Structure 1
Amino acid sequence: MKKPSGHADNKKTGNDDKKAPASKTGYMLWSTSKVAECVGKAPNSAMFDSVTHAYMNQENPKMAMKLNNVLDNITASKRSDNLDSTSLYPGLSYNLAEYFVRTRDLICANVPADVCPPSDCSITLKMFPQFVDGITFGVRTSIDKKHVACQNAQNEMAMAAWKDALTSFKQSPKVASITLERDELQRQFSMFHRMDPLGQLFECSIPREATAFATVSKDYTDSQIQVEDCWRGEKGAAKCLGDALALVGLSVKLDVAGTQDMAGEVAEREAAHEMTSRSCATDPLATFRLLEGDQVELASHGPMFEAAAEEKLATKGPTSTFTSHGPTTDLRNLDEDAAAQEWENSNHLDQLEDTAQQSITREKAAAKMAIHNWLREQRQKTQTAAH
C-alpha cells in the first residue's frame, strides 16, 4: 500500500481550509482538539482527540462514500452493491496506519481475484494535514495577518498529530509512504483561483516556502515525488508510477491511456477552462484579483512597475503612461538573461507624448534588475530546499 503525504492541494479530495466544519458536510477528520487560542471556534468533527487520543466518533461518512466509489470501475456482475464500512471501527486505536490497513483489507476482500489477485491488491490513500486539522492555506497578500495566534496554535497541535500518523506509517510493515510535493507558489495560486471568494487578491512576489507539514514528512516517508515531474510527458508519468509501485513490490508498463491520465491532467484542466490564462508563472511579480469562473485579472503589475510609473510621472507629468503585458512563457524555465529579456520585450511603454530615450533606458534597467533579483531569490530558495 502506498500513501502520499504532504499538503492539501486537491479540491475534490482534500479537506481544505475553506470547507465548513465536518459535522455540516459529512467530513470527518482523523483527529483534532480544542485550541485555547482559537476563541469562539468550535473544533471540527473528528474520530480522535489529538491530545488525549480519546475515540470520539466511530464513523467516517466521507470514507464510506469513497469506499463505494472504488467499486465503480469493477464490472457490476462481479462486485457487491456496496461496501459495509462499519467493520473498520470497532476496537480501532489511535493509529492511522491500522485504520488504513483495515481499509485495504476491506476493499481487497470485495475485489474479485480475476480482477486483482489478493497477493497484488494494494490501495492508494491521500493523507493531508487537514485530516489532523492542520492549516495550509498559505498567504494571499503581504498584509495577511488575520487569526495568526489561532492558526499557529492549531498547527502546533496538528503537527503533533501529523507526526503521530507518520510514525504509525513508518512502523507498519504493511504501509509504504510517499511525500508528494508541489511548487508552493503554484499550489497556493491553484487554491486561490479555485476556492477563494470573488475579489480576493493574490500577490505573486511574496516568498512562499513549503509548509512545515510537507518538510517534516520527508523524515518519515519512504520516498519523495515532485508532482510537476509526473506531468512532463510519458517518461515523467512512467517514472512517478514506477517509483510508487516499487515500494509495494509491484510494477506496470504504462500504456497510452495511463500516460494521458497522469501527464494529461494539466491539459484536461485547460480544456475544461479550469486553468487561468495568466498566473504567477506568466507574471511573477504581479498581483491578481479573482473573477467569476475561477478566472483572474491583473490588479497590479508589481512593485518594480509601480516604481517605474511613479518615476515617469514625477519626471514627465501625468500625460505619460506605463502599461504592461505579461510574458508569454514561464520565466522560471529560462536563464536569467533570457528571462530578463523576455520580461523586457513583453512589457511595452505606451507614450502619449515624446519621452527621452534616457527615461526609457532607466525603466528597462529597473525592470531587468528586478527580474534578475527575483530569479536569483527563487533559485536560492530552491537550492536551500534541496539541501
Structure 2
Amino acid sequence: MLGNLFPLDSSKPFTDQEKIGHNRYHPEIPPVATVKPGDSFRVDSREWFDGDIKNDDSADDILNAPMKKVHGLSGPFRIEGAQPGDLLIVDILDVGPIPQEQGPLAGQGWGYTGIFAKSNGGSFLVEQFPDAYKAVWDFHGPWATSRHIPGVKFEGLIHPGIMATAPSAELLAKWNAREAALIATDPDRVPPLALPPEPEESVLGSVPQADRERIGAEAARTAPPRENGGNQDIKNLTKGTRAFYPVFVEGANFSIGDLHFSQGDGEITFCGGIEMGGYMELHVDVIKNGMELYGVSENAIFMPGRQDPQFSEWIAFSGTSVTLDGEQRYLDSHLSYQRAILHAIDYLATFGYSPEQAYLLLGAAPVEGRLSSVVDIPNSCSTVYIPTAIFDFDIRPSADGPHQIDPGIGAPKAADPVYG
C-alpha cells in the first residue's frame, strides 16, 4: 500500500488542500500523482458540495446548493504505461466515511439526502415534488437512522458515485457537441436538458493560469455518466468491486468522488444517496489493448462487490407506461419506474409518512429498481423492491390496516422558490 495519495484536511475547503482535485473533465488537467500497475493506494474524498449542506433542520441549503461547483473529484491519478485503447482495472479494496471523526462535514458521523427544487436541477419526480426538502442521517457503525424519517434503520451500502477516466480531446468535443444540440431543442427549459461547460466555479487542479480560461470554457461538467464512467451512481459498486474502464488518454488519468453511505436504485431525488465524504483504498492494473480484445468502446464493465446488506423479504410495487393523466406511452420504462415509485410513496403514506419523507427514504435506503418487462406492447413494467426489515414495524398489508407512525419533525422544506 502506497499510503494516502490524496489527503484531505477536514478543516479546509477543497480548493485549499495540499493537493487540488478537479470538478470538470478535460484531458489537460494534470495528474496529482503517478502509480504503477499493481499498486494499491488510499484516497480521501470530499462530499459533492464541499460542506455547503449542514446538519440542521432547514432545507434552504438544498434549495440554494451551488450546482456549478460539483463534483469535487480526487485525482486525476496517472497509471504508468496505460495507453488509449487499454482497459484500466480498478479494485475497491475498502471504502467508508471520514474515519473516527465527528464534525460539521457530511461523512463526520452523518450524511444527508435532498430532494432538489425544480429551479435547481429537479429530481426524477420533479413535477410531483418541485420543492426542496432534506433528510439528515446519523451513522451508527454500519447503520443509518434519521430524525427526519422515523421508524427506519438500515445498513449502509457504501460506494462511490463517480469513478472515471479522462476523455480525449476528441471525446470531449463529442460530448460538448451532442449535449449542446440537446440543449438547443429547448434552451429555456427548467430544469435544463443538460449542463454546458461553465468556467465559473471550475476547479482544474494544477492547470497553468495561462490555460485556465480556455480549459474552463471547454471542460465538461461531471453531472452525467458518459463513456468514461463518471457519475453512474451504481449502488452496488462497493467494497470488493472490480471495474474495467476504457482508457482514452496516456496514463488514463483516473479520478473518484461523490461517496454515498447508502442509496436506492436510481438516486431518484437527485441528491438521492446519503451524501458524505470519506476514503477509498484502491488497487489498479491494466489490460493492454483491452478495449479491442473485449469489444469495449464506450462503456465501463463492472463486477460488483458482495458486501450488500442481506435481506430475505421485500415488498414490491409495479408501474406501467401510462401517465398520471391516463395517456398511453409506448414501452416507456422511465415512466413506468416513475409510476412504480409513486405507488410505493402512496403506500408508505398510509402509515403516516408524508409523501416527501417516503420519497427521501426511497432515494436513500437500499431499495432495488428493476425493469420487469420491456417487450409487452404497449406497456413497459418497472418495479421497486423495498426491504421490509428496514422498518421497526410491520410494513406488510394486513386485515388490521396500516400501523400509524409518529412522523416526528418531518422532512425540512425550503422556502418556496419562484419557478420560471
TM-score (norm 1): 0.27
Structure with the larger RCO, 1 or 2 (CA within 8 Å, 6+ apart): 2
**Largest Rg, 1 or 2:** 1
**Greater helix proportion:** 1
- Structure with the bigger percentage of strand: 2
